[in-house]
Amino acid sequence: MQACSATMASGRMRRPVARIADAALDGAGVVLLAVEVLVLFAGIIARTVFIHPLIWSTEFARLVFVWLTMIGAAIAVRDDRHMRMTALVHSLPAHWQARFRAGADVIQLASVLAMIGPSLVFLQVEQLSSLSQLGISSAWEAAGLVAGFALIALYLLRDLFAHRGGDFWRGAVGAAVIVGAAWLAGRALAADTLAEVIFVFIAMLFATVLAGVPIAFAFGFCSTFYLMVTQGAPLAVMASQVEQGTSSIILLAVPLFVLLGGLLTVTRLAPAMMRFLTELIGPVKGGLFYVLIGGILLVSGISGAKTADLAAVAPIVVPEMKRQKIDEGHILSVVSCCGAMAETIPPSIVLIIIGAVTGTSISALFAAGLMPAILLAVILALLSRIWAGADAAAAAPRVPARRVLRSFLHGLPALALPFVIRFAVIDGIATATEVATIGTVYAIVLGVVFYGGFRPAALYDCAAKAVGLSGAIMFIIAVATAMSWTLTQSGFADDITRLMLALPGGRYGFLLGSIFLMIVLGSILEGIPILVLFGPILFPIARTLHIGDVRYGIIVILAMGIGLFAPPFGLGYYAAGIMTDIDPNRALKTIWGYLAALVLGLLAIAFVPWGAL
């Protein structure tokens, strides 16, 4: 009894310490994100106004970015925000779910612990070099990896201790047996490179993903496992590749656009835009579907993050659609398909990522991505109109013209934001990375001046959430970069190249094969890691077949988006269900017609020469 009381007292003492530690980590992430915004915005002002560029700003921003990514990844572990595929595990009985979750946590911890030692080695190596503009040791960047992996390991240990003893041991033993069997099989296949790669990168990867291991950790686990089995390269190479994946200045746009997407709601810009659209086109037949589609189109031209887009639009429009008794299956179907449709609307994060990993012009991708999205949006609108035709209540109440005009004037500053972003990029005022800082400053000023202000605590919470979400995204990119290197070194990329070139039909067969591959993989592994893994492999094949990088990039991104929002595995589909508060099962019958229409639209984009330009 005394021991129990002592344990309870100790737990009560630990909780305040844990809350302080969590708050400190959030604060560190918010400070780093604020520093990034301020430094990049100062760089824009210095270059365009004072004609005196801050030559050190890019290097400093890259250094901070490494730390921001790793701290964000740790926050995502703490808040369980890393992307994982749970459809299979959630179909099991509750006690089996607990065991699988424990086993997944064990595998996550093993993959992180395996990286701490190599990260320390990499840190020692980086001490021998320096950052040219800042004049400090490159070890400052490598130290971010070490600190991040250590924080992630601490939070994973906390999660392991939270499991019931029986679940933990059963899950740990099951994971150990599976990994041990894989190790023995891998060693037996060591003489046959292709067979081993197929075993490790297909069987192990899909097994860990389907078992509920977060995708980033599944990538890291399989890559580390492969290097340990083959002993073809030291694990320090993994740390080096992860660092490269977190230090690309182009990818700095990811957390900045995630922040901007969150600010749309905090500063009341999104409600102002949606109110105008609702009053203008909501009263027509099927108008609320048009408002939903148009809102996603408009907001996607600001934030670049599909999760932020849906979160900004769905909570405003969907409750009114429910009040008008519109079928919830159609609502969720259209929301999900809007997410797929909007993947190429600039400044889309996936456009930035595909440009970064393949060397394609991001400005050209921005220019090419808008028209295909509009084409798919028109297809969705027509289908919504057809299905809404049988629903007499599929329109919002009619409002006077004077009220519509007032809503337009009230929303005009917010409606101008997408054009401000595009003008800044096209006119050369800011790069694709920097332009999000202009949008961030613009949104904050509008929120204070035009839309009644906001609480500083709301801005802080928005930034903290942006750190966690962007950390989850960037950690996937970082680990996928390491895995992509492993795939290339193993010779797997060459095998894929020969297979894709052998498809019948030449370039058309290759395009069909790419669309099929991206839809399937997009529904299982999530889009961003697929682009990082397969972009460097597939784009050279497309060039060999005289398919332009921009055209091919738009096609594979749209195909990946369709898979991402397709049931039963697509993570985006379930995210849309959460944001609309609609049971995903409600749309399992209705969504297939919409998805089929998107696929037909994608085929038109792929095979009509001007369709993707």
Express each pLDDT in 103-136 by its tens digit: 888 888 888 888 888 888 888 888 888 887 777 8
Determine how β-strand 136-137 pairs with β-strand 130-131.
antiparallel
Q: Report residue 314's pLDDT band, with 50, 70 and 90 as the boundaries.
A: confident
Region for residue 583 given its phi and psi (left: phi exceeds 0; alpha: psi -120 to 50; beta: otherwise): beta
For residue 600, the model assigns a pLDDT of: 92
- d(CA 75, CA 467) in angstroms, rounded, equals 8
Alpha carbons within 13 angstroms on the beta-carbon side of residue 162 total 10
Q: Report residue 451's pLDDT band, with 50, 70 and 90 as the boundaries.
A: confident
Q: Which residue has the tokens 């740390």?
A: 239
Joined together, the tokens standing for residue 60 give 């400093």
What are the φ/ψ torsions at residue 3 (nearest 5 degrees)?
-60, -40
Q: Report residue 35's pLDDT band, with 50, 70 and 90 as the boundaries.
A: very high
- d(CA 173, CA 165) in angstroms, rounded, equals 12
Q: What is the per-residue burial (b if ≥16 Cβ within 10 Å, else e) of 449-460?
A: ebbeebeeebbe
Alpha-helix runs per DSSP H in 491-588: 492-501, 506-525, 527-544, 549-564, 571-580
Q: What is the per-residue burial (b if ≥16 Cβ within 10 Å, else e) of 360-387?
A: bebbbbbbbbbbbbebbbebbbebbbeb
Residues 34-44: what's their mean pLDDT?
88
Nearest to 520, CA basis, from 611, 599, 575 = 599
The fraction of the chain above a pLDDT of 90, given in percent, is 11
- d(CA 459, CA 330) in angstroms, rounded, equals 34
Joined together, the tokens standing for residue 195 give 């067979």
| Position with higher pLDDT, 13 vs 267 | 267
Residues 428-446: what's their mean pLDDT?
82
Please tell me which of 144-158, 265-279, 359-373, 498-512 the model is most confident about, judged by mean pLDDT. Answer: 144-158
Residue 404 has pLDDT above 90, yes or no: no
Joined together, the tokens standing for residue 601 give 């639209």
- How far is residue 486 from each of residues 34, 491, 612, measured CA to CA in Å? 35, 9, 32
Alpha-helix runs per DSSP H in 91-138: 94-126
- d(CA 342, CA 362) in angstroms, rounded, equals 17
Joined together, the tokens standing for residue 382 give 């027509």
Residue 303 has pLDDT above 70, yes or no: no
Residue 31 has pLDDT above 90, yes or no: yes
| H or E stretch at 137 | strand 136-137
- d(CA 224, CA 237) in angstroms, rounded, equals 10
| H or E stretch at 206 | helix 205-210
Region for residue 4 given its phi and psi (left: phi exceeds 0; alpha: psi -120 to 50; beta: otherwise): alpha
Residues 475-500: what's their mean pLDDT?
77
| H or E stretch at 409 | helix 401-415
Q: Report residue 192's pLDDT band, with 50, 70 and 90 as the boundaries.
A: low
Residue range 196-247, pLDDT digits in tens: 556 666 777 778 888 888 888 888 888 887 777 776 677 777 888 888 777 7
Residue 13 has pLDDT above 70, yes or no: no
Q: Report residue 1's pLDDT band, with 50, 70 and 90 as the boundaries.
A: very low
Residue 30 has pLDDT above 90, yes or no: yes
Residue 526 has pLDDT above 70, yes or no: no
Nearest to 356, CA basis, from 465, 230, 252, 498 = 252
- d(CA 607, CA 612) in angstroms, rounded, equals 9
**164 Cβ contact list (under 8 Å, min separation 6):** 98
Residue range 332-348, pLDDT digits in tens: 889 889 888 888 888 77
Residue range 48-93, pLDDT digits in tens: 888 888 888 888 888 888 899 999 999 999 988 887 877 778 788 8
Q: Report residue 95's pLDDT band, with 50, 70 and 90 as the boundaries.
A: confident
Q: Report residue 559's pLDDT band, with 50, 70 and 90 as the boundaries.
A: very high
Residue range 245-295, pLDDT digits in tens: 777 777 787 888 888 888 888 888 888 888 888 888 877 777 788 888 888
- d(CA 32, CA 75) in angstroms, rounded, equals 14
- d(CA 384, CA 394) in angstroms, rounded, equals 10
Nearest to 262, CA basis, from 226, 301, 210, 312 = 312
Nearest to 473, CA basis, from 240, 277, 308, 337 = 308
What integer best gives the mean pLDDT of the chain? 81
Residue range 584-598, pLDDT digits in tens: 888 888 889 899 999
Write down the pTM of the prediction. Answer: 0.81
Residue 422 has pLDDT above 90, yes or no: no
Residue range 532-556, pLDDT digits in tens: 878 888 898 888 888 888 999 999 9
For residue 2, the model assigns a pLDDT of: 38
| Position with higher pLDDT, 471 vs 199 | 471
- d(CA 169, CA 154) in angstroms, rounded, equals 19
CA 99, chain centre distance (Å): 28
Residue 391 has pLDDT above 70, yes or no: no
Residue range 125-164, pLDDT digits in tens: 888 888 877 778 888 888 988 999 999 999 998 888 887 7
Residue 9 has pLDDT above 60, yes or no: no
- d(CA 371, CA 366) in angstroms, rounded, equals 10
Residues 594, 335 contacting (CB under 8 angstroms): no
Residue 194 has pLDDT above 60, yes or no: no
